[in-house]
Amino acid sequence: MNKWIAFITKRLFYMVLTLFLITTLTFFLMNLLPGTPYQNQAKLSPTEIQVLNEKYGLGQPLGQRYVTYMGNILHGDFGISLQFSDQKVTTLIGSRIGPSLQLGIQAMIFGTFVGIILGSIAAVRHNTWIDTFCSTFAIVGRSVPNFVVAVVLQFVFAVSLRMLPIGLWDGSFKYTILPTLALSLSPMADASRFIRTEMIEVLGSDHIEFARAKGMSELRLVFTHGLRNALIPLVVVIGPMTVSLMTGSLVIENIFAVPGIGEQFTKSILTNDYSTIMAVTVLFSFLLVFVLFLMDILYQLIDPRVRIGGMK
């Protein structure tokens, strides 16, 4: 029990330290962006710009602004969006996180499920044309950018076949199909590659050969022993991939005009909306380090080869 407490405490400390470093680095780098958050600065007088700087706290020295900002986010205050006048950043992100979450979860579930099936088939049919096809698919899926896949999907299913909407968003399922397919290609390829590699190793191990010699069916060997053991390493990569997809692909959301976090983040960078840039970065970083923290704990529980007592 004491080892678990020490392990969790150590991981929590690293979480806080990582978030602090990311927030600090992003804050200072953000202020190096060219331009100002005032889109119509050419039409504003120096007095008007001074008034706006005082309103948003941009007239203070950079160090003072940093201390103030860090103190505010500790209380959950991420400031006011400079792109949307007088709208809180938390409200802005809260209204857009739903579509990103929906697309990310759908893409992760579909991509991982199909990837596990393809990887299992490739491992069972090792060194056959089926294995070659599945391996080639995984390589192509990891190499081809998802925005290329998105454009192809739009052309085939929306423009040519007119089966699905080309873009926009009204909350119905049909509007999520094409962006989900475009986003799912990456986790599908990763899952297929991981499962294939691990299952080939597991199915060739001594205890599998012993079970096969005892007359255990091949189907039971694959699903009872092979797949269960092969899923353990996949847990490590599923966490970060899920966070990445949940926060939304910047390009995919823009291509399909999805009102998610990714689209808003892109607009915030183009307009130098400092408050929104920081809030989205902190949100993404928190989700990532938190999921990695959960994956560390889960990996200790599901993999008997790992022991907390052996950690340094």
- The answer to whether position 275 is within a domain reads no
- The answer to whether position 194 is within a domain reads yes
- The answer to whether position 283 is within a domain reads no
- The answer to whether position 298 is within a domain reads no
Bridge partners of 88, per DSSP, are 80
The predicted structure's pLDDT at residue 312 = 44
For residue 101, give every residue at least 6 positions away whose Cβ sits within 8 Å of its Cβ, in sequence order, or none.
Answer: 246
- The answer to whether position 75 is within a domain reads no
- The answer to whether position 13 is within a domain reads no
Which residue did the predictor score with more confidence, 216 or 100?
100
Work out the average pLDDT over 70-84.
83
The predicted structure's pLDDT at residue 304 = 55
The predicted structure's pLDDT at residue 311 = 47
The predicted structure's pLDDT at residue 85 = 67
Report residue 248's pLDDT band, with 50, 70 and 90 as the boundaries: low
- The answer to whether position 144 is within a domain reads yes
Residues 156, 160, 162, 166, Cα dihedral to 10°: 60
Burial of 138-172, coded b for 16+ CB within 10 Å and e otherwise, reads beebeeeebeebbeebbeebbeeeeebbbbebeee
The predicted structure's pLDDT at residue 258 = 85
42-56 pLDDT, tens digit each: 566 777 777 777 777
The mean of the pLDDT values for the chain is: 80
Using CA atoms, how far apart are residues 107 and 209, in angstroms rounded to an integer? 36
143-198 pLDDT, tens digit each: 888 888 889 999 999 888 888 888 888 878 888 899 999 988 888 888 888 888 88
Q: In angstroms, how far is CA 74 from the centroid of its own chain? A: 24
Report residue 41's pLDDT band, with 50, 70 and 90 as the boundaries: low
Lowest mean pLDDT among 101-110, 227-236, 291-300: 227-236
- The answer to whether position 137 is within a domain reads yes
The predicted structure's pLDDT at residue 11 = 86
Work out the average pLDDT over 232-261.
76
The whole-model pTM stands at 0.76
Work out the average pLDDT over 127-136.
85
Using CA atoms, how far apart are residues 141 and 133, in angstroms rounded to an integer? 12
Number of domains in the chain: 1
Q: Which CATH number fits the domain that encloses residue 170?
A: 1.10.3720.10
Token representation of residue 34: 């060219």
| Helix, strand, or coil (residue 248) | coil
Token representation of residue 280: 């989205």
Domain that holds residue 193: 101-263
131, 122 contact by CB (below 8 A) = yes
